[in-house]
Chains A and B, each alone.
Chain A
Amino acid sequence: MRQFLIALSLLVATTSASAFHDSATITVTEKLIIHIEKMEDTQLRLKALEKYKDFLFERLNQIELPENFMALSNDNPVIEEYRSLTEFDNYINLIRMKEITQKDCQRAKMRIETSTSREGGMVPEAEVALKVLSALCR
């Protein structure tokens, strides 16, 4: 029983701490991070990021919400998933630079961090975006 409760609390903790669950987005994000970490050419890294932004936009326009989604409760997983993906897309779109410089990387990091919450806390979507930024700016 105790083990079950521990497992359940871990599951709840994992779920609440995660950003989104869309497998296509998760897979492409992981691939992007690995891909740009290997790239030496910084311009190619930026191009990969732009393609990734296009992917996110297309994904948001592929996902079909139920017809009556405005009538669903605010914490419905379908609503939360779409909300979370859109918020993640925002943070990724805050990564904008013509060249990868330390100054621009720091600025993008700060923008993501300060945009996440009125009181400065970090949200899971922003954490994933920071991983992408970190790979880009390594």
Chain B
Amino acid sequence: MKTAAPYLYKLLLLNLCFTVGWGLGTPAMTSLDLSSKEERGFSLPFRLSNNKNKDSDKKSKDDGSSSNQEETAPVIEHALDQIDRAKQVQNLIGKQDMTSNRNCEDCERELRSIRYMQCNRQNDYLENELEKLGQGHTLFAQLATAKIERESIIKPACMRMSMEAKFSASSKVFRQCSPEGTGSAAFRPCISENYFKLINNSFDLVSSCMKDIMAPEASDETQKLDVRAVYALINVESGFHVNAMSGTGAGGIGQFTTPAIQDVNQNELRNIRISLENNPNPQCGRLSMEFLDSLEPIRPQKAHSCDRISLSNGNPIKNMIYTYAYLKGVKKDLSTMIFENRNYKNKFKLSEFDLNKVKRALMVWSHNTGPAGTWTPAKTLLNTFYRNRPVTDADEFINQLQQYMQKFPASANKSPARRKETSRYFPEITSTLTNIEKNVGGGSCVNF
């Protein structure tokens, strides 16, 4: 849960490499610098005026919404909406194969095109452990060795791009854990076939089991869009690298901090275990038994930060479960505080699809702001701008929330740096996701 570093330019360049590299059947590996952080000022998406003056408000609303929809696309955008835009981009870069990926018709080709790295002495430090843990009949072994499924919820090509794009090969924001549990700085791990299989297959299994827990009664499409949001979030947090560790100690796939781990251990883990074990898919029960029952929970103290990242402690699977568990708790709190709260729920005059879009945006944002970090700006927005009018445009609401994160943050996010970071978090996630989706074959990263 740390700053989402923008790496859109890198993605664009990476797109070129992938297009050329994959097209020629040769590996296209990059080691670009991610430090090019573009400073962007925020223009107000609307002009706030006396809420009794509805005419002027409506005008300002109309003025604002159009310009800002261009600026940030929400995570939950319907996949079909994306396909046409992606096709246009593909046309621009001269790619002629314009197969829609709704049925994953070109997934087989994409799978064949995925390239893995040749490891070297600097980055092969996970390989021995992977090989060792990949033997036997454990679920970990299965995940590390099973072939990549072309029908996985998130397309493997998107997963592969995430692992390549977030950090350069020479980045040293990684930790290598000793058997004693102490960590030392390391290069980005080698994206070998085994490592990629472990990450890709783990995320697919954890997602397929946890999506029912996140949204039990929701449609398959809604659940998959939830997974897409989690994919986008992890992509920005860790680039799906098991041992990513920030300077502040946030660690692992979901970049967990001490309070977040405490929260999951105290409030979520018990119910997650029960739900997984009751899931009709026996693999979900195994997730619980082999990663939550047989292993100790992640210890929240910084001194035990290897718990968040080490393979021997069940990562990345355990950290992925924690990520979903944390978001589940956040979602529940948001319901109680806003979406099911008698004072606010009637303010949302949105379709179910758009309401889910807003909920998902707040959920993703909370991963960075903390559980309470979205309540204050969201409620302030509802009690001021929407005091006498309903929320009828999900995208506009999300864009306005970005401004309110700056102006009315929760106490924990009041420092200038945190105001900036929290307000930009969600827009950066959506921009990065949009770019990945444009750059990986077109269409959504989700196999619907």
Contacts and interface: CB of A to CB of B under 8 A. Distances in A.
Interface in B342-399: 343, 370-372, 375-376, 379-380, 383-384, 387
7 contacts: A61-B383, A65-B384, A67-B48, A86-B380, A89-B379, A115-B372, A125-B411
Contacts of B419: 74
Contacts of A118: 257, 259, 370, 412
Q: Which of A64, A74, A96, A118 has the most CB of B within 10 A?
A: A118
A87 B370 contact: no
A90 B375 contact: yes
A52 interface: no
Given A68-B48, A83-B380, A114 B412 contact: no
Contacts of A89: 379
Nearest to A91: B372
Contact of B49 (A67, A96, A125): A67
B383 A114 contact: no
A122 to B, nearest CB: 10
B408 A82 contact: yes
Nearest to B406: A74
Interface in A78-123: 79, 82-83, 86-87, 89-90, 93, 96, 110, 114-120, 123
Interface of A: 57, 60-61, 64-65, 67-71, 74, 79, 82-83, 86-87, 89-90, 93, 96, 110, 114-120, 123, 125
Closest 9 CB pairs of A and B: A115-B372, A123-B411, A117-B412, A83-B408, A60-B383, A90-B375, A57-B343, A118-B412, A87-B376
Contact of A61 (B266, B387, B403, B406): B387
A86 B380 CA distance: 7
Interface string B237-281: 000000000000000000001110011001000000000000000
Query: Chain B at the A interface: mostly helix, strand, loop or mixed?
Result: helix
Contact of B263 (A57, A82, A114): A114
B134 interface: no
A93 B259 CA distance: 21
A118 B373 CA distance: 9
A57 B259 CA distance: 29
Given A61-B387, A67-B48, A74-B406, A116 B411 contact: yes
A83 B383 contact: no
A38 B337 CA distance: 29
A115 B371 contact: yes
A110 B263 CA distance: 10
A119 B337 CA distance: 22
Contacts of A86: 375-376, 379-380, 383, 408
A69 B376 contact: no
